[in-house]
Amino acid sequence: MRLWLLVGLLSSAAWGNPKPADFNYSQALITPSGSAQYQLSLPLNVYQHSQRSDIGDLRVFNAAGELVPYALRTPPALAPTQHSVSLPFFPQTELQNTAGSSTQIQRNSDGSLVQITQQALQKNIVSFLVDASKIKAPLSSITFAWQNPEYSGTVVIEASDDLQRWHELQRGNVLSLQYQDQQLAQQTLTLPKSKAKYLRLSWPDGAPQLHSVQVGLLNGQVAAQHEWQSVGISKSKQDALLFNTLTATPVDQMRITLPEVNTVVRAQLYSRPRSDAAWQSRWQGVLYRLVRNKAELNNTPAMFSPNSHTQWKLQLDTQGGGLGSGQAKIEMGWIPSTLLFVARGNPPFTLAYGNKAISSAAQSEADLLIDPATPIGAASAASAASAMANATPPSESDPAQQKKWLLWGALILAVGVLALMARSLIRQLKPPAP
């Protein structure tokens, strides 16, 4: 028992104190001076070259090649919750601040809108003015409802705090229509984190009969930005597409773009961790790519709970012709984990990764004395071009490394056998007790 315990301890000690050369890749970290702790989002290179699903084969070194303590903050399994608020809106038949405009706007002392008076030169509505003056939280999304049986078009969303100076927040396509026995709807657009007292909605393709406007507010949280990476189709069939994602990537969205315009197809997305595992359903819905009023309308990304499965299948309903000709474009989306480390020793610091034989050494944020309420230094990774593969990284598949530990194991086993033989011989030679 002691013999095997010794063998285990020696084997685990092999990677107990790794060096930068023990990893396949290393990348310089840029750290502004003056902070004892730093954080950065894991760069794409880490996800491309990590060999473990838990990103355990990662370490941070200082200029002397010494390990420094680090922690990994993974994104939440669920998106930040939000609640919606309905806002009052006012139609406009002419744009404010244009030549000859007769628009008059009445406001209360708190800035809220009371009335908009116009001498309408035309009957068509060109925009809507939305009153968000009572909203103090950042806006995260906007949702429209209209009375039209069907509608599709582009909306331009502008923001202002004084009704004089406007800047564009977002523009996108919205729709609600029936197409080939499929009900297509996209009535919500995401907004960049921003606060604004007023919004102006312009409709270049003609305004709908707007019924309500709601904005989504994050509950004290900020939605993290997604990273996106194209994936290659490994196998294409008439009714299914098979593809692989990166090993350690917590994918929670898929952007799927159809190859031909005016195509609608019902689809279901599956994933599994390995070839002998059962497929698990992740999403189902309708994919579309349509042209309306000279604007192209595409389905929104498929969304699901984050997982690090590497094998994926997009199952297609071929009753309506499937994808048509050409190949679909698929992009995977994920929220990168945050690397936090202590700036022990002198810079420059190095991020090393890529060795399946090395397990995680991440500590908790509490162990690193990191207070979530206290800002810490912002580090950044050097450009992707500076992530260079090490020439001879040892790994569990390295024949020389395997031979080395095989010889060590044989030697230790031989010593153990000799020790047992000596012990048995001593017992035999020991005289019997009187």
- Written as one string, the DSSP assignment of 109-160 is TTS-EEEEE---S-SS--EEEEE-TT--SPEEEEEEEESSSSEEEEEEEEEE
Same domain, 43 and 106: no
Same domain, 211 and 313: no
Q: Are 131 and 87 in contact (CB under 8 A)?
A: yes
Q: How many domains does the chain have?
A: 3
Last residue of one domain, picked from the residues 350, 372, 389: 389
Give the pairing of strands 89-92 and 127-131.
Answer: antiparallel
Could you tell me if residue 193 is inside a domain? yes
Same domain, 194 and 113: yes
Contacts of 144 (CB under 8 A, 6+ apart): 155, 174, 187, 188, 208, 210, 212, 213
Same domain, 24 and 108: no
Q: Which residues pair with 349 in a beta bridge?
A: 29
Could you tell me if residue 413 is inside a domain? no
Could you tell me if residue 245 is inside a domain? yes
Could you tell me if residue 164 is inside a domain? yes
Short-list 222, 201, 81, 206, CA closest to 143:
201
DSSP states of 362-393? ---TTTTT--TTS--EE-EEPPGGG-EE-SS-
Could you tell me if residue 377 is inside a domain? yes
Query: How many alpha carbons lie under 13 Å from residue 10 in its C-beta half-sphere?
Result: 16
Could you tell me if residue 98 is inside a domain? yes
Residue 182: what pLDDT?
76
Which residue has tokens 């709601």? 214
Same domain, 61 and 95: no
Same domain, 90 and 22: no
Same domain, 312 and 269: yes
Same domain, 192 and 172: yes
Same domain, 180 and 295: no
Task: In whole angstroms, give the CA distance from residue 132 to residue 24.
Answer: 52
SS3 for 17-42 is CCCHHHCCEEEEEECCCCCCEEEEEC
Could you tell me if residue 407 is inside a domain? no
Residue 415: what pLDDT?
72
Read off the tokens for 129: 């003015």
DSSP 67: B
Q: Are 63 and 343 in contact (CB under 8 A)?
A: no
Task: In whole angstroms, give the CA distance from residue 38 to residue 26.
Answer: 18
Torsion of Cα atoms, 27 then 226 then 140 then 192, to 10°: 60
Same domain, 25 and 153: no
Domain containing residue 164 = 82-218
CA distances in angstroms from 424 to 19, 397, 414, listed in the order given: 43, 39, 15
**AA identity, residue 323:** L
Same domain, 347 and 330: no
Task: In whole angstroms, give the CA distance from residue 116 to residue 128.
Answer: 11
CATH code, domain carrying 232: 2.60.120.260
Same domain, 192 and 96: yes
Task: In whole angstroms, give the CA distance from residue 266 to residue 287.
Answer: 6
Contacts of 253 (CB under 8 A, 6+ apart): 226, 301, 302, 303, 304, 332, 333, 334
Q: What's the CA angle centered on 138, arms 116 and 105, to 5 degrees?
A: 10
Could you tell me if residue 432 is inside a domain? no
DSSP 2: H
Q: What is the pTM of this model?
A: 0.72
Per-residue pLDDT of the chain (434 residues; tens, 9 = 90+): 444 344 344 433 344 688 998 999 999 999 988 889 999 999 999 998 998 888 999 999 999 999 999 999 987 765 555 688 999 998 887 655 554 455 666 667 666 665 666 555 456 788 999 999 999 888 889 999 999 888 988 999 999 999 889 999 999 889 888 877 778 888 999 888 788 999 999 998 889 999 999 999 876 555 578 899 999 999 988 889 999 999 889 999 999 999 999 899 999 999 999 999 999 999 999 999 988 777 788 899 999 999 889 999 999 998 877 887 888 999 999 999 999 999 999 999 999 999 988 989 999 988 888 887 788 899 999 876 566 666 455 544 444 455 555 666 677 777 776 777 777 777 766 666 55
Last residue of one domain, picked from the residues 169, 187, 218: 218
Element (H, E) at 414: helix 399-429
Residue 353: what pLDDT?
93
Q: Are 89 and 128 in contact (CB under 8 A)?
A: yes
